[in-house]
Structure 1
Amino acid sequence: MLYPATTVCTDPSCPSHGRVLRLWEDPKRVTMFSLASGVFEGFAVATSCRKCRATYYPNYVVRGDVRQYYEGIPDYVQVADHTYIENALLEHFTMLSVLSWTSSTNTAHIYHESMSHLPSDARDIPRFQLRTEHTSDGFVLLALLRDAKDRGSVLEVPNSGDQQERFKDAMIARNRRIQFSGQPEYAHWCQKCHRRFDDDSGPHFVDCIVTDGISIGRPCCGVQNCREPLRTPQDHWCARHVHQAAFCVVDGCCYAHRQGFRTCDSHAAVEDHHVATGQALFTLRMRLQRAQVTHPTDAIEPDAPVEEDVDLDDTLDGPCPEKPVDGNRRVRARFGRRRTHNEQLIVRPCGIITARETFYGAETTPQVLDMLHKKHLIPGSMPRFVYYDNNCGLYKHCAATAGEDLHTRIGLPVDVFHWKCKHKKTDVECSFHCNPHMFPELLNGDRSWYFNSSRAEQTNVWFGGYHAIVREMGAVKYEFFLDEMILRKNELTRAKLEAEGWTPGYRDDIRFAGTNVSL
């Protein structure tokens, strides 16, 4: 039996405030999914107030068109009208996603196949089957309830409308809070990512971060660098650029496409070539492999599926025996959806992820510089060192930008691997300004490195596992899911640092000031 969290009216403005509620309807039969006991039937009781007409359910109270959840997290979370999932089971599903990249579909399937205690005929009854929408909505609701509990507030959502849209505004609000104020571990401190260093000026503390990007990608507007959300992930254009659908898909072409085709008369051969190659067996096999890849690398770019980009010479009959002096003119067309370019992470050398941002067009030094400034708005929060594999380019950009002095205030070393293998030693930026050997604060007494400068790439190995899960998500769910995965991963990392004796804590001067940062 599931009962409301209160037996009396809790509305201070109601004449019946504090009085016992009456039974609103007969107990409703529901299906309950648990971690230890499997699936079973139960009953949910609802009560109401005679005066204010508020209806109290086991998880929330409905006043007008507002659904207000009770404080804390209930033992059983309602994910559908007649379906409840145990809190412990939702936590288990979330940890499966964090540690083994398990999707909502697979968690439901695993649970269903694990119900060996049920008779075979009972497992085929629809109400005893855990569906993907149950696990997906349960994940979102549990994360929102945890967020409200941590902030000392209660979750309020509309009571009407589709379940898919009910939590959208609450998800957007949390996305913005994390975007502007950072992850809860934004002010993290530990002995693994901070150190005391003594030099001629006396003792002082130094810290560093590592930033790197990984291509995961979600559908976005076909206009490069447009950040407007799509109506659905299947759309090619946002509402502001939907008129682009009438034009030829070849880059730079301003003519309307032919009826029933995607290209104009001048570029008909490009579409013919695209259709022919799309039917080739090796192309279909490659397309399938890229769609199912779990850990994207630099060699596999999931944000540019093979069917989306066509790169052809003007002559389609075959390669020329000799290239012209001025080169061949290239024709590029995009028949599929554009995707965001990469996810840029800022990671502490201990493994704590402090920030994430989606880059749309490319991973450029101006975007990285802008991200560093936006994520460290609080005075004193900018780290002493920033590791980035293209710090030499970042240094040049800062030096050439009027009014920019970041390169004079912090060190911009390149991690040792990239500095040895991928940077010119003849450039003054690579050989001097971004040479990690030029910063004694980064070295131990035995000339070994104090900070792990490869932590961002190591983190990307884990983070890249979500490519297959998020590649078809909408913008709101995409941001919400990845932020929740980072939050949970940070909790595990912090527990590991505590167990290993690295004494993790928080910088109070940054932590409390961060609650007042906004745009």
Structure 2
Amino acid sequence: MSVTTEEVWDMFIILALLDDHQHQGTRLSVPHGNNQSDHFTAAMQAHNEKIITHGDEELPHACFGCTWLFTMPDGTTHYTEVVVTDGITVGHPSCAYLETVCAVDGCDKPVVYDKSTGKPHKACNDPLHLRMEDARSRSGKSKTQRMKSVKLNDALTASSVDDALPAAVTSSTRIVDPSLLEACPTKDEVPKLKAVFFRKWTNNEQLFICPCGVISGRGTMYHHEAISNVLILFEKMFSLPRARKPHHLIHDSNCNALREVESRQLKFFDGMGMCVDAFHHKTKHKASDRFCQERCDMKTYPELLDEHGKYYFNSSITEQTNVWFGGFHNMCHEMMPVKYDFFLDEVILRRNHATVINLHRQDKQPHHPRLST
């Protein structure tokens, strides 16, 4: 007797949902009239929303692997907590454009409808934008070509419209709007039009991990792992009711993050140390960057060093965890958002359970401290 992939997925989802409801003391209820593929969608969505509003189970985690009681040079005793963050390329399909708005970047005109079929185009009534869509639909068969922005050479190959194009358009450039040719004569390049007529994938997952290996949470970056997005996600996650703001945030681009925090005067990060992890600081950041060397070096913070002057915390934990997390890339590549979020939250939950068991064995006393009121 063989078990199908669909049956394995159903078993995983059912067991995970039953385990979650047993933990909450509630009863799992699913509809009976829908398609089999939709039976658990509402239950998974409810689980996902709970994670968004309350955070992962181990969000308030603390132990002697990520928290340290230390003595300052003046003899006073303090404690410090550290969280490390990094992105990993795991994503799910997402819409590249709004169905009712032109897919050309920078154009917000409504799409037009095909007179013969009545179906909507993906471009507005601008002839140049419609030609870009036509080039995309005819260019064929290569997935690599479809995954790129529409370029003029694709249009020339597919449509053979060399004579019909404006004189300003050449085979060495992308399709150019002639009305923009004289808009800025001092610039070297003429503004280029770009369009995405196909679906895209989210850019990456941003993990926030304690140095002991417990994953505090994750967030999906839809476009770029920009510093501003990382800061927003961090603030939202550690502003949840069960969260405690750590004393230090470690990230491989924290020198840029700290510059942004100070330039924008982000109050949430007041008093927080923002260092670059030891590996990237030594190998990827310039010694001539005084700001980075003076403000983002872990060695300049006594609370991050042990009594022998070595690093107390494992600042490379995200790189190590990414090896495990990246293994789900192919599994998640075609998942829809609800199942995608549910699946990743569940595998993180179960990894955290195993990590906490190991921390108990190592006598690091993992626990959830009571929040002060």
Q: Into which bin does the TM-score normalised by the smaller protein fall? A: 0.7 to 0.9
Equivalent residues of 1:257, 1:265 under 8 A apart: no
Matched, 1:242 2:81: no
Aligned to 1:115: none
Name the residue aligned to 1:317. 171
When residues 317 and 181 of structure 1 are mapped into structure 2, their CA distance, relative to the original with a 3 A threshold, is: same
The residue number in structure 2 matching 1:44 is none
Q: Does the CA contact (< 8 Å) of 1:309 and 1:333 recur in 2?
A: no
Separation in 2 of the partners of 1:500 and 1:476?
A: 36
CA distance in 2, matches of 1:423, 1:503: 35
Secondary structure class of the residue paired with 2:348: helix
Normalized per residue, the structure richer in strand is: 1
Describe the shift of the 1:427–1:185 C-alpha distance in structure 2 as closer, same or farther (beyond 3 A).
same
Give the residue type in structure 2 aligned to 1:176.
Answer: E
Match of 2:203 in 1: 341
Name which of structure 1's ranges 484-493 and 378-387 shifts more when overlaid on structure 2: 378-387
Partner letter of residue 400 of structure 1?
S
- How big is each residue's C-alpha offset from its partner over 1:349-383, in whole Å with a ceiling of 9 and x where there is no partner? 11110111112232223322222222222488111
Classify 1:339/1:257 alpha carbon distance in 2 versus 1 (closer, same or farther; 3 Å): farther
- Over 3 Å counting, the alpha-carbon distance change for 1:131 and 1:444 in structure 2 is same
Q: CA deviation at 1:208?
A: 0.3
Q: 2:222 maps to what in 1? A: 360
SS at match of 2:49: helix
Deviation for aligned residue 1:262: 5.7
RMSD of equivalent CA atoms: 3.0
Residues 327-338 of structure 1 correspond to what in structure 2 (within 5 A)? 327-338=189-200
CA contact (8 A) 2:228 2:257 kept: yes
Structure with greater contact order relative to length (CA < 8 Å, sep ≥ 6):
2
| Uncovered stretches (5+) of structure 2, i.e. residues with no partner | 153-167, 174-185
Does residue 1:478 correspond to 2:340, yes or no?
yes
1:172 equivalent in alignment to 2:45: yes
Amino acid at match of 2:245: M
CA contact (8 A) 1:312 1:330 kept: no
Q: Structure 1 pair 406/427, CA: closer, same or farther in 2 (3 Å)?
A: farther
Residues 268, 157 of structure 1: alpha-carbon distance in 2 compared, 3 angstrom cutoff: closer
How many residues matched?
Answer: 337
Residue segments in structure 1 that go unaligned for 5+ positions in a row: 1-38, 40-111, 113-129, 224-240, 288-305, 514-519
Query: In structure 2, which of residues 18, 22, 27 is the aligned counterpart of residue 149 of structure 1?
Result: 22
The answer as to 2:365 corresponding to 1:503 is yes
Q: Map 1:334-483 to 2 at 5 A.
A: 334-377=196-239, 378=241, 381-402=244-265, 404-483=266-345
**Alignment partner of 1:212: what SS?**
strand
Indicate if the aligned counterparts of 1:389 and 1:418 stay in contact, CA closer than 8 A.
yes
* Code of the aligned partner of 2:78: H
Task: Measure, in 2, the Cα distance between the counterparts of 1:176 and 1:340.
Answer: 19
Pair 167,256 (structure 1): closer, same or farther in 2 beyond 3 Å: closer
Asked if the contact 1:399–1:407 (Cα under 8 Å) also holds between the matched residues in 2, the reply is: no
- The one-letter amino acid of 2:333's match is R
Change (3 A) 1:275 1:170: closer
Q: Which is greater in Rg?
A: 1
Q: Distance in 2 between matches of 1:180 and 1:423?
A: 37
Task: Output the TM-score relative to the length of structure 2.
Answer: 0.79
1:205 and 2:79 equivalent?
A: yes
* Cα 1:445–1:262 shift into 2, 3 Å: same
Residue identity opposite 2:300 in structure 1: M
Question: Do 2:89 and 2:205's aligned partners in 1 also have CA atoms closer than 8 Å?
Answer: yes
